[in-house]
Chain A
Amino acid sequence: MFTRRGFIRVTTASVGSLALRPFGLLPALAQNGSDYRALVCIFLFGGNDSNNTIIPVDDTNFQAYSSLRGSLALTASELTPTVYDASNAPYAFHGKLTELAGMFSSKELAVVANVGSLVQPVTRAQYQAAQTPVPVNLFSHSDQQLQWQTSVAQGNSPTGWAGRAADYIESQKINASNFPVFFSVAGNSLLGTGATTQPVAIAPGGSLQLAGFNSTPASQARLNALNNLLTLDSGVKPA
């Protein structure tokens, strides 16, 4: 007995959405929409050494930095020229990050430092005494990558914070365009997975166009057959 529940619905969530959505709108939205706002997230999966990204360069803090990082510390010659934060404290970026330093100076870039996943505030003494909840699987890279995306440190979450935001935006009908609330140019991500919305993932340079179709009756019949199956499988009717 073959059944259309379970995984069948999951496969068609992806294929179905590609057949139904007007992705051609993307360039138009980006170029013309004066009211188009986007939050762009770049996630390096822990690949950035944040302690060598922006460094305090006042004498006291730079000495502390140098002694703590040891052989990994950057020397003054490996840093950008000094930049100043809002309270006029001196910092420098890694020498390869000159563009970021320039944007920081012109107040186009803000750094939110010392951020990490937590269940609740915890001191060093509390951590060592193991009396306070800490993020699950704290030193497991894969778990910590997921927690950054879910914003749930005390266990597993099937949704990401951006996906939950997309659920809300869809439910409130705030998104006037046909363009999906969340889309990824780097494959599927838990970040964009909602409870009621799915991330749309596109590849830079990739095409979501189905190849091999034309306007002949035979070709259209084949496309109809494909869409009929997708509708049956997903329960979603083509727009």
Chain B
Amino acid sequence: MKKFLYLILSTLPAFGQTATPVMTARAAARFLDQATWGPTPASIAAVQQMGINDWLAAQFAATPSDLPDEPILAVDGKSNNNLTPIVGVFYQNTITGPDQLRQRVAFILSQIWVVSQVSVHPAYAFPPYWRTFRDNAFGSYSGIIKAVTLSPAMGTYLNMANNNKANPVKGTAANENYARELMQLFTLGLTQLNPDGTPVLDANQNPVPTYDQSVVTNLAKVLTGWTYPTAPNAKAKNNNPAYYFGQMFAVETEHDSTTKTIFNNIIVPAGQTAEQDLDTVLVDLMQQPSMGPFISKQLIQHMVTSNPSPAYVQRIAQVFSSTGGDMKAVITAILTDTEARAGDDPNAQANPNFGHLREPMVFLTSLVRGLNGTVTTANGLNGYANETGENLFNSASVFSYFSPLNRTEGGLYGPEFQIYSTQTAADRANAISAALYGSLDKTTQLDLSPFIDKAGNVSDLADYIGYAFLHNAMSSDLKQAVTDAANAAGTAKAKAQAALYIALTSSEYQVIH
């Protein structure tokens, strides 16, 4: 009897221990680098225990973070253009928010559907625009298209708002900016794509364009007749002044209701309302075969690897088209794909071109999260991101911080390398130096003690850094360099600082594998 009881107890976890992990630390950390703002010891342990599917389910259900609404006017009565409070909360959410996956996907969507303060100045425009992606990150891609199309912030940025039908007396025609970028950047791309993302070629081996100028002109007509929401206590006009809460609404007298021929020779019939025209286009867009591979490949590039195989793109595009652009299904497919997970196995044959450069914001948040950081809303993290080419909500143009088509040496795609220059490489190294030897800003607190505690044995220290930052897989060359730097340092703290500096400035860390 006594022996039997002992056996039962032994199958339960001992006090203070947790259940047997279902994933290795390496696999969990790799996954977290793809799905979040950077692994932490706690999140690595959580994914190890939960496995990917349970973790994803928990993330899909996690309470969304928010950004604070801002006053329309500053105290001097002029437009309030100060984004600082919003940006501070944004970074705080990335560091400590529970909804890591939602925030990361929303940020990726905002890099595809760019609105920048370079031409949309009022600060209060940005939290509602951001919520468009936060709220649709796990929704449908067609929902994203419609929500952004009717967003007043995009209305200003690409002239969708107050885009009146042609006026022969004034000699004006519909503005083509939004129509063009809706196709080129947000949904279809310039070139027709095969299901695996490779370009469709004509008989002369030239890429086949998705649309021509006449389609742009006609789609611009389809999208006429929308104006800004009417501000409280204001009288509605055909062309309202800019107002950034709520959705744009249709003014039928400014809508071009003639018949229009758009992409793929689809005819938008005459006599429809502005909203009927828009819904027609939404349905037709979602049925274009290029959209699945075009959007899927960009999502893969942002989360997993700059150069996915055509087969990987095709698997995700298939999920995209068969689910009507269901983002939960697409994200799950991207993160659980065999190509994304192949490197979880330390003995697998590595693809040397797998992975992508850590973009500035993810570099910073990963650094702070890995160093057990706490931040306040007054943090200055965006200053470092700005210096290195990624000033939140301030992309230089609609082409975002970097292009999915940017190439590096040897013809490899390397989107993030577009903003990785001699200068920004030095700036990134110096941000690491500031974090370890000084401070990143006045309020961000980093805790090196877990590393200092290991510094009595430099090999243990290197292994722990590898666990925290390098998917438990530091190369022998890097371990040697880390060891050399730490051995030359005096105190335990100095050893931890020197070892972390070498590891975090290394290409192994800068490039997520």
> A residues near B, CB below 8 A?
1-15, 17-18, 45, 70-71, 136-143, 158, 184, 187-188, 198-203, 206-212, 217-218, 220-222, 224-226, 228-229, 232-233
Determine whether the beta carbon of A140 is less than 8 Å from that of B184: yes
- List B contacts of A11 (CB < 8 A): 357, 420, 425, 507, 510-511
Known contacts A7-B412, A137-B209: A18-B425 contact under CB 8 Å = yes
Roughly how many angstroms separate A15 CA and B354 CA in the complex, as a whole number? Answer: 20
Q: Does B426 lie at the interface of the complex (its beta carbon under 8 Å from any beta carbon of A)?
A: yes
Q: Point out the residue from B353, B399, B478 that lies within 8 Å of A7, measured CB to CB.
A: B353
Give 1 or 0 for each of B409-431: 1 = CB within 8 Å of chain A CB.
10110100111111111110110
Interface CB pairs A-B, < 8 A, 24: A1-B350, A3-B350, A4-B352, A6-B412, A14-B424, A15-B426, A15-B429, A15-B505, A140-B180, A188-B418, A200-B421, A203-B423, A207-B430, A208-B423, A210-B430, A210-B433, A211-B434, A212-B430, A212-B501, A222-B488, A224-B484, A225-B482, A226-B485, A229-B477
**How many whole Å from A179's CB to the nearest CB in chain B?**
13
Roughly how many angstroms separate A37 CA and B123 CA in the complex, as a whole number? Answer: 45
Determine whether the beta carbon of B421 is less than 8 Å from that of A187: yes
Roughly how many angstroms separate A13 CA and B507 CA in the complex, as a whole number? Answer: 10
- The chain B residue sitting closest to A204, CB to CB, is B423
**How many whole Å from A2's CB to the nearest CB in chain B?**
4
- The chain A residue sitting closest to B511, CB to CB, is A7
Stretch of B61-69, B82-90, B293-301, B341-349 at the chain-chain interface = B341-349
Central interface residue in B353, B424, B485, by most chain A CB within 10 Å: B485
Give 1 or 0 for each of B432-450: 1 = CB within 8 Å of chain A CB.
0110110000000000000
- List A contacts of B424 (CB < 8 A): 14, 187, 201
Q: Does B104 lie at the interface of the complex (its beta carbon under 8 Å from any beta carbon of A)?
A: no
Determine whether the beta carbon of B507 is less than 8 Å from that of A15: yes
**How many whole Å from A238's CB to the nearest CB in chain B?**
14
Q: Does B403 lie at the interface of the complex (its beta carbon under 8 Å from any beta carbon of A)?
A: yes
- List A contacts of B389 (CB < 8 A): 187
Determine whether the beta carbon of A207 is less than 8 Å from that of B426: yes
Q: Point out the residue from B423, B425, B433, B507 that lies within 8 Å of A212, measured CB to CB.
A: B433
Roughly how many angstroms separate A137 CA and B387 CA in the complex, as a whole number? Answer: 32
**How many whole Å from B186's CB to the nearest CB in chain A?**
13
- List B contacts of A228 (CB < 8 A): 481, 484
Roughly how many angstroms separate A143 CA and B507 CA in the complex, as a whole number? Answer: 30
- The chain B residue sitting closest to A228, CB to CB, is B481
Known contacts A10-B408, A45-B397, A206-B423: A233-B488 contact under CB 8 Å = no
**How many whole Å from B203's CB to the nearest CB in chain A?**
15
Roughly how many angstroms separate A6 CA and B498 CA in the complex, as a whole number? Answer: 27
Q: Does B455 lie at the interface of the complex (its beta carbon under 8 Å from any beta carbon of A)?
A: no
Give 1 or 0 for each of B224-252: 1 = CB within 8 Å of chain A CB.
00000000000000000000000000000
Roughly how many angstroms separate A221 CA and B475 CA in the complex, as a whole number? Answer: 19
Known contacts A1-B348, A7-B355: A14-B421 contact under CB 8 Å = yes
Known contacts A1-B347, A2-B475: A7-B414 contact under CB 8 Å = yes
Give 1 or 0 for each of B449-486: 1 = CB within 8 Å of chain A CB.
00000000000000000000000010101100110110
- List A contacts of B120 (CB < 8 A): none
Known contacts A6-B412, A210-B433, A212-B437: A229-B506 contact under CB 8 Å = yes
Determine whether the beta carbon of B423 is less than 8 Å from that of A222: no
Determine whether the beta carbon of B421 is less than 8 Å from that of A6: no
Central interface residue in B421, B424, B429, by most chain A CB within 10 Å: B421
- List A contacts of B502 (CB < 8 A): 222, 225-226, 229
Q: Does B13 lie at the interface of the complex (its beta carbon under 8 Å from any beta carbon of A)?
A: no
- List A contacts of B434 (CB < 8 A): 211-212
Roughly how many angstroms separate A228 CA and B483 CA in the complex, as a whole number? Answer: 12
Q: Does B16 lie at the interface of the complex (its beta carbon under 8 Å from any beta carbon of A)?
A: no
Q: Point out the residue from A18, A70, A136, A233 that lies within 8 Å of B507, measured CB to CB.
A: A233
- The chain A residue sitting closest to B396, CB to CB, is A45
Determine whether the beta carbon of A2 is less than 8 Å from that of B498: no
Give 1 or 0 for each of B315-357: 1 = CB within 8 Å of chain A CB.
0000000000000000000000000000000111111111111
Q: Point out the residue from A7, A18, A206, A218 that lies within 8 Å of B408, measured CB to CB.
A: A7
Q: Point out the residue from A4, A17, A220, A222 that lies within 8 Å of B501, measured CB to CB.
A: A222
Q: Does B513 lie at the interface of the complex (its beta carbon under 8 Å from any beta carbon of A)?
A: yes
- List A contacts of B507 (CB < 8 A): 7-8, 11-12, 15, 229, 233
- The chain B residue sitting closest to A13, CB to CB, is B409
Determine whether the beta carbon of B498 is less than 8 Å from that of A222: yes
**How many whole Å from A184's CB to the nearest CB in chain B?**
8
Roughly how many angstroms separate A4 CA and B478 CA in the complex, as a whole number? Answer: 11
Q: Does B265 lie at the interface of the complex (its beta carbon under 8 Å from any beta carbon of A)?
A: no
**How many whole Å from B311's CB to the nearest CB in chain A?**
19
Determine whether the beta carbon of A17 is less than 8 Å from that of B422: yes
Roughly how many angstroms separate A85 CA and B277 CA in the complex, as a whole number? Answer: 52
Give 1 or 0 for each of B493-513: 1 = CB within 8 Å of chain A CB.
010001001100111101101
- List B contacts of A8 (CB < 8 A): 507-508, 511
Roughly how many angstroms separate A46 CA and B425 CA in the complex, as a whole number? Answer: 28
**How many whole Å from A152's CB to the nearest CB in chain B?**
13
- The chain B residue sitting closest to A207, CB to CB, is B426
**How many whole Å from B249's CB to the nearest CB in chain A?**
28
Q: Point out the residue from B216, B353, B505, B510 that lies within 8 Å of A6, measured CB to CB.
A: B353
Determine whether the beta carbon of A200 is less than 8 Å from that of B430: no
Roughly how many angstroms separate A229 CA and B26 CA in the complex, as a whole number? Answer: 23
